[in-house]
Amino acid sequence: MPTSEKICQLMSFITIKSLFLQTDNKPEFTLQIMKPSALFLDRDGVINVETNYVWRVEDFKFTEGIFKLCRKFQSAGYLIFVITNQAGISREYYSENDFFTLNKWMLNRFSEMGITITKVYYCPHHPEITGPCDCRKPEPGMIKQAENEFDINLPDSVLIGDNISDITAGKNAGVGTNILIQTNTIPEYLLI
């Protein structure tokens, strides 16, 4: 049985319009499904403090304000996605399994704070090692994948990153609002 919160979230995406026909004055209903908006977050430098190639739980420190920011967007009906370049995998600084272990721990911390991260997209490539790809930011591949999988309304979505490549990826994908922040700092105006 869906909770009332889930029903409210679903209803926030549904608009029912009643049109009265002049011929017989009977209402005709059309159901218009609105696409959800998304909050796209870079990981290193936005979600966690950037210390170069974070892959161990003991080295992962959440950026101050990240939970408040996510709660704000989640309560407004946004789906939350993480989009992260993880070239440390192709450079063999850590394995994909190391990334998955840290990712699982991070998602559990968000869940404990009442925040649902819809999905984490990552690019394990590095152009000098694996060649070019369409997922490594500034390419829009990870964002476009989320759009395709979750039918996201990109023009009404928000991306927050700490690198110009994050912002370029958002613009290239068609994200409506792209916010460049100082690394490891969630600006106060985003928390209000």
Among residues 24, 42, 98, 151, which one is catalytic? 42
Rounded distance between C-alpha atoms, residue 118 and residue 98, angstroms: 21
Catalytic site includes residue 44? yes
The rounded Cα 111 to chain-centroid distance in angstroms is: 15
Catalytic site includes residue 42? yes
Query: What size, in residues, is the chain?
Result: 192
Residue 50, by phi and psi: left (phi above 0), alpha (psi -120 to 50) or beta?
beta
CB count, 10 Å around CB of 125? 20
The rounded Cα 21 to chain-centroid distance in angstroms is: 42
Query: Which residues does the annotation mark as catalytic?
Result: 42, 44
